[in-house]
Structure 1
Amino acid sequence: MSRPLSEELALQHKVLHICLSRGWGGLEMYPARIIPELARQGWRAYVLTLEGTRLAKTLAGCDATEMRSVRSPLRAFWQLPVLVRWLRRRGIGVVHCHKSSDLRLGALLKCLCPELRLVFTDHMGVTRPKHDPYHRWVYRHVDRVLSISEVTLTRNRQAFPLPASRITLLYLGIDTADFVPQLDTDARCALRDTLGIPREAVAMALPGRLTPGKGQQLLLDAFIRLRDAGDTQSHLVLIGGLEADEGGNPTFIASLQQQVREQGLEERVTFTGFRRDLPRLFEVMDIVCVPSRNEAFGLTVIEAMAAGKAVVGADSGAIPELIGCEGGRLADPQDPAAWAATLGELRDAPALRERLGANACRFVNARFTLARHVSGLCEIYADAA
């Protein structure tokens, strides 16, 4: 005989994710991505977020979680007594923060509920030491810092006022099944037509927020070099929102679009705008480019690899850890000529692109699955608790 739902919930491990951010990038998407898998692995997730944000809208109606929203981060501090009662009524034992500024709230919650265990994932990559009195107070309450790459692990152990044993490497993961090709030939041709990509063209794509740090300017400069060297078959696709509330930088985007017009490349460069069908877009791309100079991880890299695409990534940050042996190519993120040369090599070698993509897909399925990530996360939650 099955137990009533209330009894089942009482038996589950429980974690509160705090994400008081109005943005919509990898950090904010993370709770929404992992919550269904957490439920499958026996953890009930609760989320504290801001009203009206993309995260709040995404989680609305999600059966796998209970969400609580506040109007502003300051309002969350005013509601501390209410939050403490809420945590205790639900028997939540772990609090997981995803933004460094949210750790203030996490530390105060732990001061009021010493039985809580506080976990922090450094999604962004720390850039300066945290040894001043304020940060020493905050991190004194943190039981575990999770680093999402070897690069950030090294930085974190130098920057945070914690013993190395409390700073752990845990790579991110994705549901690789989402990136298994689904479109038939006719559907792929139709999608390319919609995007303005000639059917015979070699499509080179950069998915990500259109902001200076993601490398669109460098890639456009490299593409112009290819054109100037006689390339007539390549097509550049910039995937990402064109508005500020979609993560884009409107001033930067306008500058890119003006350069495209001045170079006479309107027919060879596509700005897709915000898309929800990235796995399907990958199916019609030939090369995926990730020239970000300082990625703490590089989720787009493993998504493209899971789709079986040849990837060219920046030879900096965490990207070299992800591409692995024979899974893609690396190039200097400050050298358009190097990118043009690498893209030219792959443009002219379809068999090489196919081999790199197959190697990349196997590598991701072995090391960067969502189930593997959440399994490691659950072990950390249980150990912290």
Structure 2
Amino acid sequence: MKPKVMQICLSDGWGGLEMYPARIIPELARQGWEAHGLALEGSRVASSLMAAGVHPLTFVSREQALWRVRRILTYLRAHDIGVLHCHKSSDLRLGALLVSLRPELKLVFTDHMGVTRPKRDPFHRWSYGKVSRLFSISEATRRRNLKAFPLPAERIRRLYLGIDPAPYADDLGASEKAALRAELGIPEGAVAIGLPGRITRGKGQALWVEALGRLAERGPGQAWQGVLIGGLAADEGSDEAVVAELRERVGELGLASRVSFVGFRSDLPSCLKALDIVCVPSRNEAFGLTVIEAMAAARPVVGSSSGAIPELINEQTGRLADPDVPEAWVTALVELLEDVQLRERLGAAGRQRVQEAFTLAGHVAALVEEYAGQEGASET
């Protein structure tokens, strides 16, 4: 009989945290674990779990899940589920309650966001006290977690996220790539400078636009195109006010023809292959999944010199720039714009680094060791 785990994510949002449970389920299955899910009724999390082959147990609210805790316990017992994996701190009260009522359950928690304030009051001591392992997705978040959470250091482990590098292999034919670049608004012969991700204030799109404005002033004859990839509406996870501000600023800088707002794309791996340079100007990333996705696509990355991004990028795979200084981004972009061989060398080294350190298979292998109580000797 396969060991079983329930992924708990009672969120009505949509971002990396919410995408994570469905993303790891196929690899969990490949490594011998049966996954179950607990989500909000009608949420994108629930839909993503179903798309991954899991029919989740759903409730209309977090409060209803707490009220119906006996139903959840009955489900866990009926399906012989022994491990609970929570992904939002607000779900830990439910996880801790389930463990309190059924002590043989094992509760693990991934801190996807990075804690911002201490959690050492009596309630958090009780709820986190039921957690057997807390995963930090970077060293930057682990340092904060050690200070904030009421847990001994040995229960807080860094576990880098991972991806399957295969879909990101640059296998587009010349005509296919040309057609996709045209679809993304990239003129023939232009260097495509992309920024993928949710459009919100913390992701740095405003700084990127300012940097492109200065880049245009510095070399008005250079052939490049900015490509902003991300949903343009609230139901796609973006801040519509920020989208409007960016459009206005692009117009003020005279960049309307040089910055494409392409919207949400379900084919991000292919889009990354169509770019030449990828920028990740987020001020305080807890990890930086977009960074390793771009590296897996063999694209050089210019990333912020803050948060967890410096753990992913080095001088052999990309460039770091201050998230508060547009001119630093211009300097990095000019270097890459002017040297195609440098771009190719950094891109190849980046893909190699992902294959060595940031694969989904490696991430899940470490995860299931923890599920099974076979803690690995080294961190991943």
- Give the TM-score category using the shorter length: over 0.9
- From 149, 153, 160, the counterpart of 2:149: 160
Hey, what does 1:39 align to over in structure 2?
29
Shift of 1:267: 1.1
Residue in 2 that maps onto 1:104: 93
State which drifts further: 252-261 or 51-60.
51-60
Query: Which residue does 1:5 correspond to in 2?
Result: none
Q: What TM-score results when the alignment is normalised by the length of structure 2?
A: 0.96
Once the two structures are TM-superposed, the CA of residue 169 in structure 1 deviates from its matched residue by 1.0
Question: Structure 2 unaligned runs (5+)?
Answer: 376-380
Q: CA deviation at 1:325?
A: 4.7
Match of 2:342 in 1: 352
After TM superposition, give the deviation of residue 67 of structure 1 in Å: 1.2
- Within the candidate set 118, 124, 131, 1:129 is matched to 118
Q: State the partner residue of 1:77.
A: 66
Tell me if structure 2 keeps the 8 A contact 1:309–1:360.
yes
Cα distance between partner residues in 1 of 2:322 and 2:86: 33
Deviating 4+ runs (over 3 angstroms) = none
Q: Equivalent residue for 2:214?
A: 225
Moved more, 235-244 or 194-203: 194-203
1:322 paired to 2:283: no
CA distance in 1, matches of 2:262, 2:208: 16
Aligned-residue RMSD, C-alpha? 1.2
The alignment status of 1:335 with 2:325, answered yes or no, reads yes
Kindly provide the amino acid, as one letter, of the partner of residue 275 in structure 1.
R
Deviates more, 1:255-264 or 1:308-317: 255-264
Q: Deviations over 1:254-281 (max 9, x none)?
A: 0100111222211110011110011111
Aligned with 1:60: secondary structure? helix
Aligned residue number for residue 141 of structure 1: 130
Match in the other structure for 2:278:
288
Task: Answer whether contact 2:22 2:52 (CA < 8 A) is retained.
Answer: no
**Cross-structure match for 1:216:** 205
- Cα deviation, residue 52, structure 1: 1.3
Residue of structure 1 in register with 2:229 after alignment: 239
In 2, Cα distance between equivalents of 1:231 and 1:332: 24
Distance 2:62 2:357 in 1: 36
Superposed, 1:360-371 pairs within 5 Å as 360-371=350-361
Distance across 2 between alignment mates of 1:283 and 1:272: 15
Number of aligned residue pairs: 374
Give the distance between the partners of 1:50 and 1:81, measured in 2 at CA. 17
Q: Could you say which residue in structure 2 is the equivalent of 1:204?
A: 193
Within the candidate set 238, 249, 258, 2:239 is matched to: 249
Deviation at 1:61, TM superposition (A): 5.3
Q: 2:215 aligned with 1:260, yes or no?
A: no
Where does residue 4 of structure 1 map in the other structure?
A: none
Summarize the Cα distance change of 1:62–1:346 in structure 2 as closer, same or farther, 3 Å threshold.
closer
User: Compared with structure 1, are the counterparts of its residues 354 and 62 closer, same or farther at alpha carbon in structure 2 (3 Å cutoff)?
Assistant: closer
Amino acid at match of 2:140: V
CA separation in 1, counterparts of 2:122 and 2:22? 34
User: Which residue does 2:303 correspond to in 1?
Assistant: 313
Match of 1:59 in 2: 49
User: Is the CA contact (8 Å cut-off) linking 1:99 and 1:122 kept in structure 2?
Assistant: yes
Query: Where do 5+ consecutive residues of structure 1 fail to align?
Result: 1-10
8 Å CA contact 2:84–2:107 kept in 1: the answer is: yes
2:104 maps to 115
**Which amino acid in the other structure matches residue 38 of structure 1?**
L
CA contact 1:15–1:43 (8 Å) conserved in 2? yes
Would the alpha carbon gap of residues 186 and 334 (structure 1) be closer, same or farther in structure 2, given more than 3 Å must change?
Answer: same
Q: What is the SS of the residue equivalent to 1:235?
A: strand
Q: 2:366 aligns with which of 376, 382, 385?
A: 376
Amino acid at match of 1:290: V
Shift of 1:138: 0.9
Name the % identity: 58
Other structure's SS at 1:248 match: coil
Cα deviation 1:19-54 (Å, max 9, x = unaligned): 001111110000011000001111111010011111
Q: Deviation digits for residues 59-83 of structure 1, max 9, x if unmatched?
A: 22543x3411111111111110111
Contact 1:45 1:66 (C-alpha < 8 Å) held by counterparts: no
Structure 1 residue 91: Cα displacement: 0.9
Instruction: Specify the SS of the correspondent of 1:383.
Output: coil
Counterpart-to-counterpart distance in 1, 2:101 and 2:246: 50
**Aligned AA for 1:199?**
E
Cα distance in structure 2, aligned partners of 1:223 and 1:25: 26
Offset at residue 326 of structure 1 (A): 0.7
How far apart in 1 are the matches of 2:315 and 2:157?
24
Q: Which residue of 2 aligns with 1:7?
A: none
Distance (whole Å) between structure 2 residues aligned to residue 184 and residue 259 of structure 1: 35
Contact 1:143 1:384 in 2 (8 A): no
Range 73-82 or range 318-327, more displaced? 318-327
Q: 1:72 to 1:247 in 2, by over 3 A?
A: same
**What's the CA shift string for 1:87-120, capped at 9, x where partnerless?**
1111111100000000011011111111111100
Amino acid at match of 1:99: K
